Amino acid sequence: MGMNVGSSSGEDEVVSAINTTPLVDVMLVLLIIFLITVPVVTQSVAVSLPKETNVIRVTKPENIELSVTKDGDVYWNTVLVPDNEALVERLKKVSVLNPQPEVHVRGDDKARYESVGRLMVACQRAGILKIRFVTEPPARGG
């Protein structure tokens, strides 16, 4: 009984080309999986987001205009307030008026959030109920 193992004529050569068909198959399967799962992942809870509004500011003489500079200085109209305690004391005096005046905060665009936050805490400590932020209107057409 004999067995044929191959011929000695040199037909068994090593194939040096890489078969890329399995790689392409795997990549196509991964692409299909990602295309199916991405829309499912990006769903979110339906909420009603606020819309941009441009409300005309009504300037009343009793309203208080507080400005915060980029250095963190606080101005009551055009007068510098020396420290946070002085600000709270001045706000307490006007918070008892009836009707209570609104506080309009004008913050410099380079001011630290900390400075504006301290001003809001001072208003809260004094019992001010209405605080509004004054901003620039958006550019036309953009």
HEC string of the chain? CCCCCCCCCCCCCCCCCCCCHHHHHHHHHHHHHHHHHHHHHCCCCCCCCCCCCCCCCCCCCCCEEEEECCCCCEEECCEEECCHHHHHHHHHHHHCCCCCCCEEEEECCCCCHHHHHHHHHHHHHHCCCCEEECCCCCCCCC
Report the pLDDT value the prediction gives residue 5, as an integer from 0 to 100: 60
Which domains does the chain show, CATH number per domain? 64-133 (3.30.420.270)
Look-up of token digits 């795997």: 26
**Mean predicted confidence (pLDDT) in 14-29:** 87
**Mean predicted confidence (pLDDT) in 29-42:** 83
| Comparison of pLDDT for 54 and 124, the residue scoring more | 124
Q: What percent of the chain has pLDDT over 70?
A: 73
pLDDT digits (tens, 9 = 90+) for 56-115: 766 777 788 999 999 989 999 889 999 999 999 999 999 998 889 999 998 888 888 899
Please name every residue paired with 80 in a beta bridge, in sequence order, or none if there are none: 75
Tell whether the model's pLDDT for residue 40 goes beyond 90.
Answer: no
Q: Within a 10 A sphere around the Cβ of 91, how many other Cβ atoms?
A: 23
Confidence class for position 138, pLDDT limits 50, 70, 90 = low
| Comparison of pLDDT for 105 and 6, the residue scoring more | 105
